[in-house]
Amino acid sequence: MSIALHSRFAAELPELTVRWKAEEAPQPRLLVDNDALAAELGVDVDWLRGPDGVALLTGTQVPADATPVAQAYAGHQFGGFQPRLGDGRALLLGEFEGTDGTLRDLHLKGSGRTPFARGGDGLAAVGPMLREYVISEAMHALGIPTTRALAVVATGRPVYRETELPGAVLARVAASHLRVGTFQFAPLLMQATGNTDLLQRLADYAIARHHPAAADAEQPYLALLESVSAVQARLIAQWMLAGFIHGVMNTDNMTISGETIDYGPCAFMEGFDPETKFSSIDSWGRYAYGNQPSIALWNLARFAEALLPLLGEDTEQAIAAAEKTLGGFQGVYEAAWTDGMRAKLGLSGAPDEAVAPLIQDLLTQLHQSRVDFTSFFRRLARAARGDAEPVRGEFIDLAAFDAWLHRWQALTPDPEAMDRVNPVYIARNHLVEEALAAATAGDMAPVTQLIDAIRAPFDERPGFERYAEPGPKEFSASFQTFCGT
């Protein structure tokens, strides 16, 4: 049973696509497939694992009526505008309907050079593709909206980076691949044609696919902006609550759907510090943990700029309307963040006036002592059960923490509720690196075990103890990840 693929994006927005084919994979070998996701999508796992499935997963054999395309987009990368990015090493195979009837993209990464490849080789290595698989599954298990990975297939083709590495293709499933950068490309075409037709078709497509309620609003395109701003505000709050650092929040890596996309130099923070960053190419810390909400808003302002021609005849008025709409971002973000922190602290019933200052004081103390942001909350739940020593042991200024603990306990926190929202297992950086190194050398066992741990992040299980512990200090201090590999 193959997957029935539509080509709606290619049919409705041909100006944003180039028909393209995947490169042959000399010796395809399925490294990991996502049975849970396949089942959710109604895809036959046995078929997927067979030769025809693997041929689809590498793009070398697609259904007769499918139209694989490379998508065009622009984007601000580290603040600088690049008018022509696009899928340099990726292909949209098409869209398909899952068992729930919603349309999803099936997309490949690492499938060969396209006309957007610029200097790149169009390829991807096993390690980074497995990283995307592992971290996107971890995010999904934490309840954070994200694109997912259906499979990683080793191609048998070497990839040359600093050393020779085994090549791979990732098959990605996403609500769509519409990005802020997609809208930043449309106006360029508008200049060529002198009208708003393409931009409008793109906005209508985005509304129909992701924000259908906007269609009924008095000003649908302003409602689209408001809706994208809201889903992004809630998404970034979830990142912050999980200690997730995306690492490369360029506008081409920000979706219109509100899913997390593009797992390059991303990682989970361990010791709490808002300045934490891991990306080797982010020397200024533009995309550091604590900057993520303001960067998201900056990206949304670029989205608003791209939409301006649709927001009214009068530019001044359109700008004022867009500014007012984006003024709502902060409130949505703060509400989501405060609700999330309240849940993490087991204080669902407590009043805002009591919770807000408690959160602020806690963050100051977590920062001062660089406390591990994940294990802290599980240890804190133990304190609610009467065993405060493990969590007290994390703080330098014990008197200050004891005072905080006292105020917190006075609000009668619920430890069971805490354990339902605070993970034991996240994809810790040292474990991810260790697992990817093993996979690159041919041993998939550590990746498989890591996936087992992070798929059920809230259930503490024997045998997984090391997955709950922060990495060695020496490792964490110098840890960097590399993007574009």
Catalytic site residues?
Answer: 252
Annotated binding-site residue? 262: yes
Q: What number of H helices and E strands is found in the chain?
A: 19, 11
Q: How far is the CB of 351 from Mg ion (least distance, A)?
A: 42
Cα–Cα dist 357/403, whole Å? 13
Burial label for 429, CB within 10 Å (0-12, 13-18, 19+), is buried
Nearer to ligand AMP, 190 or 483 (CB): 483
Q: How far is the CB of 482 from ligand AMP (least distance, A)?
A: 11
The partner in contact with residue 358, picked from ligand AMP, Mg ion, none with C-beta cut-offs of 5 to 8 angstroms by kind, is none
335: Cβ contacts below 8 Å, ≥ 6 apart: none
When asked if residue 279 is in the footprint of Mg ion (CB under 5 A), the reply is no
Evaluate the CA torsion angle 57, 61, 65, 70 in order and state its sign.
Answer: positive
Cα–Cα dist 288/249, whole Å? 10
When asked if residue 259 is in the footprint of Mg ion (CB under 5 A), the reply is no
Nearer to Mg ion, 152 or 391 (CB): 152
Annotated binding-site residue? 122: yes
When asked if residue 137 is in the footprint of Mg ion (CB under 5 A), the reply is no
The partner in contact with residue 350, picked from Mg ion, ligand AMP, none with C-beta cut-offs of 5 to 8 angstroms by kind, is none
Annotated binding-site residue? 109: yes
Cα–Cα dist 14/472, whole Å? 51
Q: Minimal CA–CA distance to 333: which of 258, 279, 268?
A: 258
Cα–Cα dist 128/295, whole Å? 24
Nearer to ligand AMP, 88 or 413 (CB): 88
When asked if residue 253 is in the footprint of Mg ion (CB under 5 A), the reply is yes
When asked if residue 132 is in the footprint of Mg ion (CB under 5 A), the reply is no
DSSP string of 356-408, one letter each residue: HHHHHHHHHHHHHHT-BTTHHHHHHHHHHTT--HHHHTT-SSHHHHHHHHHHH
3-state secondary structure 229-286: HHHHHHHHHHHHHHCEECCCCCHHHCECCCCECCCCCCEECCECCCCCCCECCCCCCC
CB 32 within 8 A of CB 154: no
Options 23, 105, 132, 262; binder of Mg ion; rule CB under 5 A? 262
Residues near ligand AMP (CB under 6 A) are 85-90, 116-117, 120-123, 248, 252-253, 262, 264, 483-484
Q: How far is the CB of 244 from ligand AMP (least distance, A)?
A: 17
Nearer to Mg ion, 111 or 253 (CB): 253
The partner in contact with residue 86, picked from ligand AMP, Mg ion, none with C-beta cut-offs of 5 to 8 angstroms by kind, is ligand AMP
Nearer to ligand AMP, 35 or 160 (CB): 160
Binding residues: 86, 88-89, 109, 121-122, 172, 179, 253, 262
Binding residues for ATP: 86, 88-89, 109, 121-122, 172, 179, 262
Binding residues for Mg(2+): 253, 262
Residues in contact with Mg ion by CB under 5 A are 253, 262
